[in-house]
Structure 1
Amino acid sequence: MEQEHNPKQTGTISKIEVQKKNKQRYNIYIDGDYAFAVHEDILISQRLQKGKEITASELDVITAEEQYKKAERAAYHYLSYRPRTRKEIKDSLLRKDVEAGIVEQILDKLETEGYINDLDFALRWVSERIQLKLKGPLVLKEELRQKGISSRDIAEALGQLEYEEQVDACMRLAEKKWDQVKKRYTEKREQKHKLMMYLQRRGFSFEVIQPVIQRLEES
């Protein structure tokens, strides 16, 4: 845990020491007293060294850069697990009490670098979820909406789904559910109705469900 900032943070740097638990962070001492801690990136960019005079304006710059770099590292760490949408990263940073202005700067940078691409995210999401999770377009649309994907990108991603691809996923899902429905309900009409309701809740349209149920009945 870092020490609390010393109220007296301006003056001459008397000592710089690397932290024991984080070799990339340095404790800065002003006139013999601990003043603040910075990442090595700021140590280099601001040319902090023993004997350097720190003015109030320079301290403001150091503090702002430290806040930005800390938030930026948090964003890269959050992205390291899996791709994220712009909204997911924004929400994550805001939960860490990062200033809204800094958040937007980081998001714009990540988009420029290609780390954020909501359309690519939506395309992958739709392709993977319909194949692996057997979820239909209506459910996928809501999932993407909750992740902050724009209506235009959602429409483009869902537009990649071929009709036969939807029927295939719906059929696989129906086959898994069909035996359960037949065991629980005896009347064929009720079996058909319950299966249809289930497939609709999973996001498939009537145009996709109808031929699936017909094939099941024929088989």
Structure 2
Amino acid sequence: MCLRLLSFSPRTRAQLADALRRKGVDDEVAEQVLGRYTEVGLIDDEAFARAWVQSRHNGRGLARRALAAELRQRGVADETVKDAVEELAPEQEESAARELIAKRMAATRGLDPTKRTRRIVGVLARKGYPGSLSYRLVREALEAEGTEELPDIPVDD
């Protein structure tokens, strides 16, 4: 069963343990199987977490906070999550945020600057970006665009 699941996509140890539990596999047997799979390298939560961070950041533009939450949902240990998201450089995160802002700026052109700012900051917040970074980058984008009345929206992280 574990091999079948792993043949479709990489899984964490916790995901495989849940699958075995749902199928009624004895906990002791499940632990032996998972231990052996870990020993031979079929299960590697650290590699899974690193690959997840790069894939989801590059593909969806997710920030550290959102990536950490997704990894925790998949049962990855906190220390492993921390190590994986720390590999994402702040410059990478800021660059991805700028790309998202550029897309949303084009889509919200013509709206009131305050409304634009709230919408774009909201998009970034849902992707896990801190409010202070989001607001600063949106403000810079509005200034670069030549928006005369820049909104003053308080942001809490």
TM-score by length of 2: 0.85
Map of 1:38 onto structure 2: none
Structure 1 residues 207 and 162 mapped into 2: Cα distance closer, same or farther (>3 Å)?
A: farther
Instruction: Name structure 1 gaps, 5 residues minimum.
Output: 1-73
Q: Give the CA deviation at 1:211.
A: 4.0
Counterpart CA distance in 2 for 1:113 and 1:214 is 51
Task: Read off the aligned partner of 1:197 and give its amino acid letter.
Answer: G
Check if 1:191 corresponds to 2:124. no
Instruction: Name structure 2 gaps, 5 residues minimum.
Output: 146-157
What do the CA deviations read for 1:6-39 (whole angstroms, capped 9, x no partner)?
xxxxxxxxxxxxxxxxxxxxxxxxxxxxxxxxxx
Map of 1:129 onto structure 2: 56
Map of 1:175 onto structure 2: 102
Counterpart CA distance in 2 for 1:92 and 1:182 is 47
The answer to whether the 8 Å contact 1:135/1:202 transfers is yes
Map of 1:202 onto structure 2: 127
Larger strand percent: 1
Task: Read off the aligned partner of 2:67 and give its amino acid letter.
Answer: L
Counterpart CA distance in 1 for 2:90 and 2:135 is 13
Higher RCO (Cα < 8 Å, 6 or more apart): 2
Task: Read off the aligned partner of 1:182 and give its amino acid letter.
Answer: R
Q: How big is the alpha-carbon RMSD for the aligned residues of Structure 1 and Structure 2?
A: 1.5
Check if 1:214 corresponds to 2:142. no
The answer to whether the 8 Å contact 1:166/1:208 transfers is no
Counterpart CA distance in 1 for 2:25 and 2:81 is 28
Map of 2:154 onto structure 1: none
Task: Read off the aligned partner of 1:97 and give its amino acid letter.
Answer: G
Counterpart CA distance in 2 for 1:191 and 1:154 is 33
Q: Which structure 2 residues correspond to residues 79-90 of structure 1 after superposition, within 5 A?
A: 79-90=6-17
Q: Which structure 2 residues correspond to residues 27-42 of structure 1 after superposition, within 5 A?
A: none
Q: Give the CA deviation at 1:209.
A: 1.7
Counterpart CA distance in 1 for 2:66 and 2:16 is 22
Check if 1:119 corresponds to 2:46. yes
What do the CA deviations read for 1:108-138 (whole angstroms, capped 9, x no partner)?
0010001111111111111111111111111
Counterpart CA distance in 2 for 1:198 and 1:113 is 41
TM-score by length of 1: 0.62
Task: Read off the aligned partner of 2:127 and give its amino acid letter.
Answer: R
Counterpart CA distance in 1 for 2:100 and 2:76 is 26
Structure 1 residues 207 and 120 mapped into 2: Cα distance closer, same or farther (>3 Å)?
A: farther
What do the CA deviations read for 1:172-215 (whole angstroms, capped 9, x no partner)?
222222233335xx321221122112211111113432342133
Which has the larger Rg?
1
Map of 2:153 onto structure 1: none
What do the CA deviations read for 1:46-75 (whole angstroms, capped 9, x no partner)?
xxxxxxxxxxxxxxxxxxxxxxxxxxxx11
Map of 1:155 onto structure 2: 82
Task: Read off the aligned partner of 1:178 and give its amino acid letter.
Answer: M
Task: Read off the aligned partner of 1:156 and give its amino acid letter.
Answer: D
Q: Give the CA deviation at 1:166.
A: 0.3
Secondary structure of 1:97's aligned partner: coil
